[in-house]
Amino acid sequence: MLENSIDHSLKDRAAAAARQEGFLYSGIVDLGLCETLLTIHIARYDRWLEAQFEGEMGYLKRGRDRRANPSLLLPSVQSVFCVLAPYGAKPLGDTTGVSGPRFARYLRGTDYHDELKSSLNRVAERIKSQDVKLEAKVCVDTSAVLERTWASFCGLGWIGKNTLLIHPKIGSYHFIGVILLSARSGVGPNCLPNYCGHCSRCLDSCPTRAFTNENLLDARKCISYLTLERKTLEPGSDDFVNSKLRESKWVAGCDICQEVCPFNRKRELEADALSEKTFSIPLGWSELESISEAEYREKTAGSSLNRMKPTQFRRNLAAIR
Ligand code: B12
Ligand code: SF4
Ligand code: SF4
């Protein structure tokens, strides 16, 4: 194939390869057809960094240029292929939010970074088997890629006021996986309308008032950041945030701005096999508090919770008791 010529079968081949791995929702977009839109998204990203909303997540600042220019990750990149991987929508831990403890739903089962990456590597191999010259790079969460931006360009949902990608059918309880591909698909951005309308439930229900505006999150106030990303072991200096964190009873992550979203109702009500996946540590206060460091490491091995160190786990328990 001539360099830069369009591979008209790429879209269907990639979608078929993803379906074979169980990904029912996927989409592709040609990088060259997204330049203007990407500039708008990067301008927002830069404003977010200027406000220092990233807190201790220095990698978001360091990876800024790679986010603006995916060819710094894969020099030959021409298309971005995205998939959605739903996770269990049933609550994990106490559901009333009064007594706790609570854990974010996505923490069930095997670490999604490893699981999703392996599946996407198989998808990439399938796509490549029909075009030996094709280069591919799989990115899941930790690569410097604006995942929600690309998934929205691929027509997989809109970016809700809670900043999450919302698919009209399956809501937001899903991970995003990305494969950068070296062939042109010829497919332009296919952004869905934003169906949030006048709703503002997510903004109103955030206990720590982490949203400074719609689509704008001060991560430093978000319970997900405070429990999972913040490395400092001393309590934060914001008394209001500390008191709301204590009341909220989340040990790891937070799902409140998704629980209230009408687009997640359907999945929450469905009997959902994904919700039956194992969770590695006990869900009672006394068992949690008596778990030793070695036990914590052993029980959480291979799960997403293992990304949180035992010292952070202790800090989090102390902050909500
Ligand atoms: C850093 C990070 C966090 C931080 C900051 C969150 C945030 N909102 O930025 C913290 C630790 C708080 C966090 C929390 C969570 N996270 Co997180 N996180 C990330 C990560 C690694 C980077 C996100 C980022 O770049 N943030 C910086 C801000 C500025 O970017 P942004 O909000 O995406 O906005 C960009 C675009 O979306 C766009 N944009 C946003 N709004 C609008 C509006 C308009 C009009 C326009 C034009 C553009 C636009 O412009 C921005 C620049 O590109 C991504 C993975 C990845 N590589 O992308 C996962 C990711 C976003 N997280 C994810 C998840 C699951 C969560 C939690 C639900 C986990 C939990 N239960 O605790 C919470 C949700 C909290 C929330 N309401 O966002 C999923 C989201 C899946 C989805 N359905 O959207 C991701 C995609 C990981 C994955 N691979 O699946 N996360
Ligand atoms: S995850 Fe929780 S703390 Fe973070 S923005 Fe959503 S509701 Fe607020
Ligand atoms: S709760 Fe309402 S405003 Fe927030 S993301 Fe869902 S639909 Fe949009």
CATH architecture classification, 10-89+111-181: 3-Layer(aba) Sandwich (3.40)
Tell me the H-state helices in the chain.
10-20, 35-50, 59-62, 64-68, 112-129, 147-153, 201-205, 223-224, 239-248, 256-259, 265-269, 285-290, 293-300, 310-320
First to last CA, the chain: 63
- Contacts of residue 186, defined as CB under 8 A and 6 or more positions apart, other chains included, come to 6, 7, 8, 30
Question: What amino acid occupies position 252?
Answer: A
Query: What count of Cα atoms within 13 Å lies in the side-chain half-sphere of residue 123?
Result: 33
Lookup: tokens for 86? 């739903």
**pLDDT value at residue 1:** 46
Q: What is the 316 CA–ligand 1 centroid distance (Å)?
A: 22
Residues lining ligand 2, Cβ inside 6 A: 206, 208, 210, 217, 222-224, 254, 256-257
Q: What is the 157 CA–ligand 2 centroid distance (Å)?
A: 20
Q: What is the 216 CA–ligand 3 centroid distance (Å)?
A: 13
210 lines ligand 1 (CB under 6 A): no
Backbone angles phi, psi at 75, to 5 degrees: -55, -30
**pLDDT value at residue 2:** 47
Burial state string for 253-286 with b = 16 or more CB within 10 A and e = fewer than 16: bbbbbbbbbebbeebbeeebebbebebbbeeebe
Q: What is the DSSP letter of 6?
A: B
**pLDDT value at residue 97:** 63
Locate the domains of the chain by residue range. Answer: 10-89+111-181, 201-320
DSSP string across 159-228: E-TTSSEEBTTTBT-EEEEEEEESSB--PPP-PPP-TTTT--HHHHH-TT--EEETTEE-GGG-HHIIII
For a mutational test of ligand 3's pocket, the pick from 165, 169, 199, i.e. the residue with the most ligand atoms closer than 8 A to its C-beta, is 199
Could you give the residue numbers annotated as active site? Answer: 141
Residues lining ligand 3, Cβ inside 6 A: 160-162, 166, 196, 199-202, 260-263
pLDDT in tens, the chain (321 residues): 445 799 999 999 999 999 999 999 999 999 999 999 999 999 999 999 999 999 999 999 999 999 999 999 999 999 999 999 999 999 998 877 678 899 999 999 999 999 999 999 999 999 999 888 999 999 999 999 999 999 999 999 999 999 999 999 999 999 999 999 999 999 999 999 999 999 999 999 999 999 999 999 999 999 999 999 999 999 999 999 999 999 999 999 999 999 999 999 999 888 788 999 989 898 889 999 999 999 999 999 999 999 999 999 999 999 998
For a mutational test of ligand 2's pocket, the pick from 105, 206, 209, 260, i.e. the residue with the most ligand atoms closer than 8 A to its C-beta, is 206
